[in-house]
């Protein structure tokens, strides 16, 4: 039983159904499934890799992105493949249709309705209550309501309830969840959409697409071909002046919004405040779909009043006569606090309630979809009487993200960066299907054609890797100036170019990866140390952690690290205390 039909909800329902459970998706907007309220792009650095991981776990986002793509770029192409970022601009009109079709094909039952509460509890829930008080029964639940819980939208002096422009807000469920779990407020925002024909495109820099024969899904038949252009524009001192003169009208700076926004994706107001010396900020003009007359202004997220948005937009060369069709706004919403869920995305203290997507504090379609897949698969497993599983941070970005959310906690909307992975050189988009094959089959979500294709890839890769080893090409692969084409020339025997590339970079990165593994095993040794007695005054261990330790009495540091309430900083302090004690005896 999945509540919410966004990116998280869709993958959750599909994953649950792949585990063999009977999946039901409840959403008040069945005609707006997997909508993209923000910029219509899927992928990027780390995010693109996550989309490949979703594919490797049998999910739907990769295939849908391939099918809906109107433009493709491989970010960081000049750098090594561990940081390549495949990204598409998707046609946001057809994407929801593709997803709805996928749901239908997978026999997910879609129930229209707004959930206001859950039945049963506090440990075991038995059904969801809809607005008209009907109860839909279920064996396990995933809450994936995005920004809708207690959602409030802001623009200038205006303030109105909603999960996004033109959407609803969820007050009943917000009350229910906030009554059971610790929650906090986060904030995000979006940019104005302009009428494309009102712009002078010749004044802008066109951005070419890379037609590199790429596809996100190993199951997609044809590579992405581009159909539309993106453009690059730059703001100037008139744009920043418009902002500066009107800051007092911004809900953010009037402190009307208390929620924390993302630093990596700031509003334009924030950019002006934080970089007062700069006025030429890049703005990317992205088409919303083939059919739409509108384009999205990436980089100009703002919640200033409408007249100011006009002044800002029209100050940009090429935008003098721009018509704004939809204005930017900020949204503040409720998210579950740190410590309310574990590594399987099950809510603490419950047996069959999971959560996924923006409600966990993340931001972005890809993050939401991947978490949805995990929560849905685990809900499916619980419904069928199996235990839920947690992903390994050493084997994928999904695991990295879950570890960060559960272990470290976050202070702002969370987005994946490749730098968050400790072993980034291993977590590449090219080897996602190799890395996650075992987890996917174990979880019960990787089957059928997808599994066969992944297995074929593994076979091809194994044989190329053996070829490189047998012909003694490893030292050559490690040299900075060696190109993969050279190795191809030497190997001669028939091979698949994708698996050759993967095998080549496995060797190139192997020395650095080995170093990482050595460090990790040293860390594991430390995990085996006994938990030291905590000194008076704390010794740097937080009160929350101290309480968790006193209650659960873990024997080793490794056990302590898994407790909810013990943060990374507490682990550092515990480690120091443990080592200090060992030295003095």
Partner 1 sequence: MSREGDVIVARATPPGLSALAVVRLSGPGCAALVEGLAQAPRGRLSGMRRALITIPGSGDMVALGWPPDRSYTGEEMVELICHGIPEGVAALLETLLGAGARSALPGEFTGRAWRNGRISADRIIELAAATETGGRVEPMDRAVSELLERVSGALETLEGAIEFQEEGFLELEDCRSRIEESVGAAERVLLMARRLQRSVRVFITGRVNTGKSTLMNLLCGERAALVDPEPGTTRDGARREVTMAGKRFLLADTPGFDGEGLDGKAFQLVLDEMDGEDVALWLSDRGEEPPGVLKATGARLLPVLSRSDTHRLEGLRVSSFTGEGVDLLKRELVGLVQAPGEQEVLEMVSMLREAVRWVEEAPEIASELLRQVESIAGGMSGIRPGRIAVERALKVLCVGK
Helix/strand/coil for 133: coil
Q: Both tokens of residue 490?
A: 């030497």
Instruction: Output the CA–CA distances (angstroms, integers) from residue 215 to 61, 63, 224, 424, in the order listed.
Output: 12, 8, 6, 21
State how far the Cα of 405 lies from the Cα of 384, in Å rounded to an integer.
Answer: 27
Helix/strand/coil for 284: strand
Among 79, 244, 469, 524, binds partner 1 (CB under 8 A): 79
According to the binding rule CB under 6 A, does residue 192 interact with ligand FAD?
Answer: no
According to the binding rule CB under 6 A, does residue 410 interact with ligand FAD?
Answer: no
State how far the Cα of 35 lies from the Cα of 148, in Å rounded to an integer.
Answer: 13
Half-sphere exposure of 468 (CA within 13 A, CB side): 26
* 413 in Cβ contact with 363 (< 8 Å): yes
According to the binding rule CB under 6 A, does residue 164 interact with ligand FAD?
Answer: yes
Among 71, 102, 340, 363, binds ligand FAD (CB under 6 A): 363
Among 57, 144, 294, 416, binds ligand FAD (CB under 6 A): 144
Given ligand FAD, partner 1, none, residue 9, with its beta carbon under 5 to 8 Å by kind, binds ligand FAD
Among 23, 26, 45, 308, binds partner 1 (CB under 8 A): 45
According to the binding rule CB under 6 A, does residue 177 interact with ligand FAD?
Answer: no
Among 145, 289, 350, 418, binds ligand FAD (CB under 6 A): 145
According to the binding rule CB under 8 A, does residue 230 interact with partner 1?
Answer: no
Among 357, 393, 396, 554, binds ligand FAD (CB under 6 A): 357
According to the binding rule CB under 6 A, does residue 265 interact with ligand FAD?
Answer: yes
Among 215, 381, 424, 450, binds partner 1 (CB under 8 A): 424
Could you tell me how many residues make up the chain?
585
For ligand FAD, which is the closer residue by CB, 265 or 446? Answer: 265
Bridge partners of 283? 233
* 243 in Cβ contact with 221 (< 8 Å): no
State how far the Cα of 200 lies from the Cα of 338, in Å rounded to an integer.
Answer: 47
Antiparallel, parallel or unpaired: β 41-43 and 85-90: antiparallel
Number of residues that bind partner 1 (CB under 8 A): 39
For partner 1, which is the closer residue by CB, 349 or 538? Answer: 538
For partner 1, which is the closer residue by CB, 75 or 228? Answer: 75
For tokens 């069945």, what's the residue? 30
Q: What is the DSSP letter of 531?
A: P
Instruction: Output the CA–CA distances (angstroms, integers) from residue 471 to 214, 481, 488, 490, in the order listed.
Output: 29, 19, 12, 9
Distance of closest approach, residue 299 Cβ to partner 1, in angstroms: 9
For partner 1, which is the closer residue by CB, 238 or 422? Answer: 422
Alpha helical stretches, state H, 141-196: 172-180
Using the contact rule CB under 6 A, the part of the chain among 24-32, 478-486, 494-502, 563-571 near ligand FAD is 24-32
Instruction: Output the CA–CA distances (angstroms, integers) from residue 81 to 358, 463, 576, in the order listed.
Output: 29, 21, 37
Helix/strand/coil for 325: strand
Among 290, 469, 515, 582, binds partner 1 (CB under 8 A): 515
Using the contact rule CB under 6 A, the part of the chain among 25-33, 104-112, 132-140, 437-445 near ligand FAD is 25-33
Residues in region 32-51 near ligand FAD by CB under 6 A: 37-38
222 Cβ contact list (under 8 Å, min separation 6): 215
Using the contact rule CB under 6 A, the part of the chain among 139-147, 248-256, 289-297, 383-391 near ligand FAD is 139-147
Distance of closest approach, residue 79 Cβ to partner 1, in angstroms: 5
Helix (H) or strand (E) holding 95: helix 95-105
Half-sphere exposure of 509 (CA within 13 A, CB side): 19
Among 385, 472, 475, 480, binds partner 1 (CB under 8 A): 480
472 Cβ contact list (under 8 Å, min separation 6): none
Given partner 1, ligand FAD, none, residue 418, with its beta carbon under 5 to 8 Å by kind, binds partner 1
Bridge partners of 186? 260, 333
User: Binding marks (x or -) toward ligand FAD, 221..260, rule CB under 6 A?
Assistant: ----------------------------------------
For ligand FAD, which is the closer residue by CB, 415 or 426? Answer: 415
State how far the Cα of 346 lies from the Cα of 379, in Å rounded to an integer.
Answer: 8
Distance of closest approach, residue 249 Cβ to partner 1, in angstroms: 18
For tokens 């990027």, what's the residue? 44
Distance of closest approach, residue 88 Cβ to ligand FAD, in angstroms: 14
Among 173, 272, 312, 374, binds ligand FAD (CB under 6 A): 173
According to the binding rule CB under 8 A, does residue 407 interact with partner 1?
Answer: no
Given partner 1, ligand FAD, none, residue 171, with its beta carbon under 5 to 8 Å by kind, binds none
For ligand FAD, which is the closer residue by CB, 154 or 319? Answer: 154
Burial class (CB in 10 A: 0-12, 13-18, 19+), 325: middle
Given partner 1, ligand FAD, none, residue 82, with its beta carbon under 5 to 8 Å by kind, binds partner 1
State how far the Cα of 9 lies from the Cα of 15, in Å rounded to an integer.
Answer: 10
Alpha helical stretches, state H, 339-473: 365-383, 397-403, 432-443, 448-470
According to the binding rule CB under 6 A, does residue 29 interact with ligand FAD?
Answer: yes
Given ligand FAD, partner 1, none, residue 543, with its beta carbon under 5 to 8 Å by kind, binds partner 1
* Residue environment code for 15-26, b if the CB has 16+ CB neighbours within 10 A, otherwise e: bbbbbebebbbb
Q: What is the DSSP letter of 47?
A: H
Which residues form the interface with partner 1 (CB under 8 A)?
Answer: 45-46, 75-76, 79-80, 82-83, 85, 255, 260, 264, 282, 284, 411, 417-419, 424-425, 480-481, 508-509, 512, 515-516, 519, 537-541, 543, 569-570, 572-573, 576
Which residues form the interface with ligand FAD (CB under 6 A)?
Answer: 3-9, 26-29, 37-38, 114-115, 144-148, 163-164, 170, 173, 188-190, 265, 331, 357-358, 363-365, 368
């Amino acid at each position: 039983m999945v509540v919410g039909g966004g990116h998280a909800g869709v993958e959750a329902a599909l994953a649950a159904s792949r585990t063999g459970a009977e999946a039901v998706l409840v959403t008040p907007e069945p005609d707006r499934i997997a909508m993209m309220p923000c910029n219509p792009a899927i992928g990027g650095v780390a995010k693109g890799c996550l989309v490949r991981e979703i594919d490797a776990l049998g999910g739907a986002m990769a295939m849908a992105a391939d099918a809906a793509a109107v433009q493709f770029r491989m970010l960081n192409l000049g750098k090594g493949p561990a940081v390549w970022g495949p990204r598409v601009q998707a046609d946001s009109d057809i994407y929801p249709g593709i997803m709805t079709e996928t749901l239908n094909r997978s026999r997910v039952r879609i129930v229209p309705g707004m959930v206001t509460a859950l039945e049963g509890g506090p440990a075991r829930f038995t059904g969801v209550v809809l607005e008209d008080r009907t109860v839909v029964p279920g064996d396990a639940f995933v809450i994936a309501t995005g920004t809708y819980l207690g959602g409030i939208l802001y623009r200038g002096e205006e303030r109105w309830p909603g999960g996004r422009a033109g959407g609803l807000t969820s007050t009943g469920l917000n009350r229910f969840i906030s009554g059971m779990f610790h929650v906090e407020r986060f904030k995000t925002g979006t940019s104005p959409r302009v009428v494309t024909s009102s712009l002078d495109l010749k004044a802008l820099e066109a951005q070419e697409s890379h037609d590199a024969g790429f596809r996100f899904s190993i199951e997609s038949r044809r590579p992405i071909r581009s159909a539309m252009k993106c453009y690059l524009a730059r703001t100037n001192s008139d744009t920043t002046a418009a902002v500066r003169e009107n800051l007092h009208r911004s809900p953010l700076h009037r402190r009307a919004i208390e929620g924390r926004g993302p630093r990596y994706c700031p509003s334009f107001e924030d950019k002006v405040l934080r970089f007062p010396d700069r006025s030429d900020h890049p703005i990317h003009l992205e088409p919303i779909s083939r059919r739409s007359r509108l384009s999205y202004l990436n980089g100009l997220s703002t919640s200033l009043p409408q007249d100011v948005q006009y002044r800002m937009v029209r100050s940009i060369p090429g935008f003098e006569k721009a018509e704004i069709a939809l204005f930017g706004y900020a949204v503040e919403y409720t998210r579950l606090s740190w410590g309310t869920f574990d590594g399987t995305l099950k809510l603490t203290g419950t047996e069959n309630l999971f959560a996924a997507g923006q409600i966990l504090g993340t931001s972005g379609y890809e993050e939401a979809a991947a978490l949805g897949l995990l929560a849905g698969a685990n809900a499916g497993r619980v419904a069928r009487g199996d235990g839920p599983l947690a992903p390994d941070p050493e084997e994928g970005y999904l695991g990295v993200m879950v570890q960060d959310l559960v272990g470290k906690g976050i202070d702002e909307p969370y987005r994946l960066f490749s730098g968050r992975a400790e072993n980034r050189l291993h977590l590449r988009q090219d080897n996602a299907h190799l890395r996650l094959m075992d987890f996917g089959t174990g979880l019960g979500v990787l089957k059928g054609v997808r599994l066969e294709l992944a297995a074929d890839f593994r076979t091809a890769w194994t044989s190329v890797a053996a070829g490189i080893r047998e012909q003694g090409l490893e030292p050559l692969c490690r040299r900075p100036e060696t190109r993969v084409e050279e190795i191809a020339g030497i190997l001669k025997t028939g091979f698949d170019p994708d698996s050759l590339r993967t095998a080549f970079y496995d060797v190139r990165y192997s020395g650095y990866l080995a170093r990482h593994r050595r460090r990790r095993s040293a860390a594991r040794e430390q995990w085996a140390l006994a938990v030291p007695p905590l000194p008076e005054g704390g010794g740097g261990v937080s009160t929350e952690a101290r309480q968790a330790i006193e209650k659960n009495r873990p024997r080793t540091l490794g056990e302590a690290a898994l407790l909810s309430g013990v943060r990374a900083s507490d682990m550092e302090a515990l480690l120091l205390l443990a080592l200090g004690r060992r030295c003095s005896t």
